């Protein structure tokens, strides 16, 4: 019996040694006693796989069982993140220095990871340039929006041509599809016809090179849903429009329901000074922001100020609880972060707001306002 047990353990040991693994290793200096997390970036959530407390030289080495299709992981210390993709049994080596590890790192052993680094740096540069434009006091809202839109379109053309369509089967092409600026995807697979085609191209390629992969199936579902949305939108646009219902206004109209089921149109507030606020009640700083808005409303509502607040919260019950006692107009967009209103108003992050003059014209967006109370008083 003892002989059989020894043989059994030996077989298990050989199986364990022969198990194919990938490796992510290297050094992150200047991070002594910091905890480095190795995490899997899954379709549904981000899961911690392993971790290590770094010593003086910052050496680390993680090894995991190889996947059947490319998979995505990340190295993280606090909010500093390095994204990596793994294909088969490769060894990826990362060298960096904390706290600039997210942007100033060296990667070797994987062409895909090197491309992901390029894409990450490009996306950070795009976001920084967009923020700079938003804060430029010399630009009008239209000029600011046009400039940012041109930046995004140029970025998409570059990434689409030189990364995605050049090698749609590679993991960095997949990574590029889901890059974001603020809280919004740069490539819009919900309603942008050209962007949906890009998603479909990568989905088709992954079907060929990575058949039956969960990520490939997910891409297909996204592309199909987007195509359906486009067909519905085109069908609606083809319908005859009643000319008598067309009105001109300096704002893009919003028509949504409050927590009592009453419809409110933004353009119905003409004649008032409106603070158009895009908000998430689930944000950590929401209570402080609501208190600030209450003070403004209590002080200036009688003089003609109205607050039209658009909630993007996904939990309707939670939103109703949070807005039950608010005195101003608070509506909810059920599309949440997929809302077309966010795209039309070029909202890159939440919360954000606009000031609208009495004639229904956009006056300034939040990034252009130094003193919100002074601006409201000038419009009143």
Q: Is the pLDDT of residue 243 over 50?
A: no
Q: Per-residue confidence at 9, pLDDT binned at 50, 70, 90?
A: very low
Task: Using DSSP, state whether 298 is helix, strand or coil.
Answer: helix
Beta-carbon contacts of 171 under 8 Å, excluding residues fewer than 6 positions away, are 70, 72, 85, 87, 112, 116
Instruction: Please report, for the chain, how many H helices and E strands are present, in that order.
Output: 10, 17
pLDDT at 79 over 70: yes
pTM over 0.75: no
State the average pLDDT over residues 146-174.
93
At 241 the pLDDT is 44
pLDDT of 239 over the 60 cut: no
Query: What's the number of CA atoms in the CB half-sphere (13 Å) around residue 33?
Result: 0
Going by C-beta distance under 8 Å and a sequence separation of 6 or more, which residues neighbour residue 322? 281, 286, 313
In this prediction, residue 236 carries a pLDDT of 64
The kind and range of the H/E element at 372 are helix 372-379
Q: Looking at residues 53-59, what average pLDDT do you find?
A: 95
Structure tokens at 317: 């019950």
- Mean pLDDT rounded to a whole number for the chain: 87
Q: Which of 349, 365, 367, 366 is nearest to 184 (CA)?
A: 349
Across 334-346, average pLDDT: 82
261 contact partners, CB below 8 Å, separation of at least 6:
none
Question: Is the pLDDT confidence value at 272 over 90?
Answer: yes
pLDDT tens per residue, range 81-94: 999 999 888 899 99
At 285-320, the pLDDT tens digits run: 889 999 999 999 999 999 999 999 999 988 888 899
């Amino acid at each position: 019996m003892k002989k059989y047990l020894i043989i059994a353990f030996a077989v298990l040991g050989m199986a364990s040694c022969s198990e194919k693994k990938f490796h992510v290793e290297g050094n992150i200096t200047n991070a002594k006693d910091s905890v480095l997390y190795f995490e899997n970036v899954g379709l549904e959530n981000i899961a911690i796989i392993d971790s290590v407390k770094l010593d003086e030289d910052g050496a680390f080495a993680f090894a995991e069982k190889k996947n059947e299709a490319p998979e995505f992981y990340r190295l993280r210390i606090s909010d500093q993140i390095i994204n990596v993709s793994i294909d088969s049994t490769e060894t990826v080596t990362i060298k960096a220095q904390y706290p600039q590890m997210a942007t100033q790192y060296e990667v070797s052993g994987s062409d895909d990871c090197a491309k992901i680094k390029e894409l990450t740096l490009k996306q950070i540069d795009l976001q920084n340039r967009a923020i700079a434009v938003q804060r430029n006091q010399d630009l009008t809202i239209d000029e600011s929006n046009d400039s940012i839109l041109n930046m995004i379109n140029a970025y998409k053309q570059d990434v689409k041509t030189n990364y995605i369509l050049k090698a749609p089967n590679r993991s960095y092409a997949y990574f590029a599809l889901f890059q974001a600026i603020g809280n919004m995807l740069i490539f819009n697979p919900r309603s942008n016809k050209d962007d949906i085609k890009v998603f479909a191209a990568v989905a088709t390629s992954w079907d060929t090179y990575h058949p039956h992969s969960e990520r490939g199936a997910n891409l297909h579902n996204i592309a199909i849903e987007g195509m359906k949305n486009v067909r519905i939108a085109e069908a609606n646009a083809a319908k005859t429009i009643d000319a008598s219902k067309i009105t001109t206004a300096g704002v893009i109209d919003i028509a949504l329901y409050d927590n009592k089921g009453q419809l409110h149109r933004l353009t119905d507030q003409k004649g008032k000074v409106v603070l158009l606020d895009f908000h998430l009640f689930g944000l950590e700083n929401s209570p402080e922001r609501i208190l600030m808005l209450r003070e403004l409303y209590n002080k200036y509502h009688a003089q003609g100020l109205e607050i039209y607040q658009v909630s993007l919260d996904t939990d309707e019950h939670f939103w109703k609880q949070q807005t039950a006692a608010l005195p101003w107009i608070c509506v909810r967009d059920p599309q949440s972060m997929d809302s077309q209103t966010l795209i039309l108003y070029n909202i890159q992050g939440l919360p954000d707001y606009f000031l609208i003059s009495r004639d229904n014209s956009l006056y300034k967006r939040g990034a252009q306002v130094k003193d919100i109370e002074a601006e409201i008083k000038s419009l009143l």
